[in-house]
Structure 1
Amino acid sequence: MSYVVTVERVEEQPAAVVHGRVDVDDLPEFLGRAFGDVLRTLATQHLHPVGPPFGRYQVDGDVFEVEAGFPCDGVPTPVGDVEPCTLPGGEVATTLHTGDYQRIGAAYQAVAEWMGEHHWQIAAAPWESYVDDPTVLEPRTIVRFPARRAS
């Protein structure tokens, strides 16, 4: 798959998330539960999602450190496993992955390579936003890398 990478400016965004340490095979179940918990918490706090669900991942062998939730229209109060967080503002290098989540690593690699070739550095942990429901035949996922110009 060919990826087009662009740099855009985004505003800092409050979000509500659930953290977990998850085996790769358990990711779909974890994400479904996390997104449901976040939506219920937002509703009880009279807050609303302002974008698609997202996930941030750090790989530790076969285990993922996951932060999954929704950007929202205010800062949520922690309840149960749901915590507030902030998606960073500033420049982000972005691409769109279409298709199987198993192949999304190619999108991350394409953005990282593009950044190096165009004199950008990774400024913070990347995240991915799920534009479509996972049951869609070719789901779309936006991959964003916070970026700063290399000196």
Structure 2
Amino acid sequence: MGHQIESVHEPERWFAAQTFHSDAEHVGQVIGPAFGAVAAYLGRRGVPCEGPAVSRYRPEPGGFEVAAGFAVDGPFPEGEGVRPERLPETDALATLHTGAYTGLPGAYADLEHEARVRGVALDPTAMWEEYLDGPDVPPEQTRTRIVWPLVEAGSH
């Protein structure tokens, strides 16, 4: 285990996103253009970003449904394929990965291992990543915060 795992309580937050479907191998090819489209839409609408770039992942057969965009203050008028998405208030396990995105599967494996050790269940329907650095940062210095909600007692 190479990642430090922490228990966190995440507040409800909103982000502006484009949603698409991808497998793990190709997500990097489509996520950048989605971020660009969301940033351009928010700029035209005068909606300020209130935090980092965010991607929410929901596993589905053959890959993921991905909602990629930027944290905003709350709901806003949707358009041009950009819509408000909500990250729920939740208890979660989280970690900070420093390095290239190709190392993210190891961070997810560490989160799964820690959940087993702690005897908690991770919600298999959604997790998200927060990209703390922009594309100008070298890959080996890129910081990605991964948040994986826990299953609430009695909900599954």
Q: With structure 2 as the length reference, what TM-score do the two structures score?
A: 0.83
Structure 1 unmatched ranges of 5 or more: none
Task: Give how far 1:145 is off.
Answer: 0.5
C-alpha distance 64-134 of structure 1, shift in aligned 2 (>3 A): farther
Which residue of 2 is the match for residue 52 of structure 1?
52
Partner Cα distance (2:86, 2:12) in 1:
7
Q: Which amino acid aligns with 2:99?
A: G
Which ranges of structure 2 fall in alignment gaps of 5 or more residues? none
Number of corresponding residues: 150
Identify the residue that residue 21 of structure 2 maps to in structure 1.
Answer: 21
1:142 corresponds to 2:145 = yes
Q: Once the two structures are aligned, what percentage of the paired residues are identical?
A: 31
For 2:121, what is the secondary structure of its paired residue?
Answer: strand
What residue is the counterpart of 1:107 in the other structure?
Answer: 107
What's the TM-score, normalizing by structure 1? 0.86
Taking the TM superposition and a 5 Å limit, the aligned residue runs for 1:2-151 are 2-24=2-24, 26-57=26-57, 58=59, 60-61=61-62, 63-123=63-123, 124-137=125-138, 138=140, 139-148=142-151
Q: Would the alpha carbon gap of residues 25 and 91 (structure 1) be closer, same or farther in structure 2, given more than 3 Å must change?
A: closer
Partner-residue secondary structure (3-state), 1:102: helix
CA RMSD of aligned residues (A): 2.1
Alpha-carbon spacing, 1:5–1:41, altered in 2? closer, same or farther (3 Å): same
Question: Distance in 1 between the 2:114 and 2:25 partners?
Answer: 30
| In structure 2, distance between residues paired with 1:2 and 1:150 | 28
